[in-house]
Amino acid sequence: MSDTTTRAVVGVSDRQQGEHPSGDNRFDLIDKHLKRGRYAQDQLIETLHVAQDVFGYLSEDILIYVARALRLPPSMVYGVATFYQLFTFDPPGDHACTVCTGTACFVKGADDIVKGVSNAYDVPAGETSEDGSLTLKTARCLGSCGLAPVVVFDGEVLGHQNTESTLELVAAAVGGVD
């Protein structure tokens, strides 16, 4: 668990002016969102989205922080967070390769792309490589079925991909495999 998030809950005393009590100003963004939603408990999912946007993932400490702020039992917050597939509990890799495995992309061979990247970089779909350089994800239809198969690499949507073109893309950013 990262140092900064641990401090958030414990709280640190040596704070400077304008700084969040935790010493980590990223919590400010969560606080702002909470305030805008008037700490309503039904804002839980929205709040978790904001927290994940800010921190990249949801650590246990962040979940506890949100639970306290919304006065919800931590077990419930944990239950909600684990129910929804878009929430992740591990830090993401430096680069993210998302392969669409919706129906149109499936028909056009998306499975081969997933297998190709997974084998080449020894990273199962949905996980991050051991050196933390690459997260391989799958998605259910990115709404660009006309361009199938679709790959999103670091936020850029790329249509008409195949295993070779995707591996080239990954290699250019992460480095090739021996």
Partner 1 sequence: MAAPIDLHEVMDREREERFRTRWRVKACASTACMSAGAGATIQAVEDMVEREDMELEVQVIPTGCMGLCSAGPLMRMMRRGGDETDYQKVTPDAAKEIVRSHVLNEEPVPEHLLDTTMPFFTSQERVVLANGGVINPDRIESYVAHGGYQALEKALTSMKPKQVIEEIRRSGLRGRGGAGYPVGSKWSLLAAAGGKTKYVVANGDEGDPGAYMDRTIMEDDPHRLIEGIAIAAYATGADQAYIYVRAEYPRAIERLDRAIRVARRNRLLGRKILDTNFSLAVEVRIGAGAFVCGEETALMASIEGRRGTPQLRPPYPTEKGLWGAPTMINNVETLANVAPIIDRGGDWFASIGTEKSTGTKVFALAGDIVNTGLIEVPMGTSLREIVEEIGGGVPDGRSFKAAQTGGPSGGCIPAKFLDTPVDYESLRELGSIMGSGGLIVMDDEVRMPDVAKFFMEFSMDESCGKCTPCRAGTVQMHNLLQRITDGNGTRRDLRDLEHLCSVVRDMSLCGLGQSAPNPVISTLQYFRSEYEALIDEEEVVHA
Where in 136-165 is the site for ligand FES (CB under 6 A)?
Answer: 141-145, 148, 150
Cβ distance to partner 1 smaller for residue 84 or 171: 84
Residue 159 interacts with, from partner 1, ligand FES, none (CB under 5-8 Å by kind): partner 1
**Binding track over 47-86 against ligand FES, x by CB under 6 A:** ----------------------------------------
Whole-number Å distance between alpha carbons of 149 and 105: 4
Cβ distance to partner 1 smaller for residue 22 or 65: 65
Cβ distance to partner 1 smaller for residue 147 or 174: 147
In sequence order, what DSSP letters do the residues of 38-57 get, joined into one string? TT-GGGHHHHHHHHHHHHSS
Q: In what order do the strands lie in the sheet with 151-153?
A: 134-139, 95-100, 151-153, 156-158
Token reading at 10: 């414990």
Q: Which residues contribute to the site for partner 1 (CB under 8 A)?
A: 41-46, 48-49, 76, 79-80, 83-87, 101-104, 106-108, 139-148, 150, 157-159
137 within 8 A of 99, measured Cβ to Cβ: yes
Whole-number Å distance between alpha carbons of 54 and 25: 10
Q: Which of 8, 51, 70, 105 binds ligand FES (CB under 6 A)?
A: 105
User: Measured between alpha carbons, how far is residue 129 from residues 54, 64, 98, 138, 168 in Å?
Assistant: 22, 28, 14, 15, 17
Residues that bind ligand FES (CB under 6 A): 100, 102-105, 141-145, 148, 150
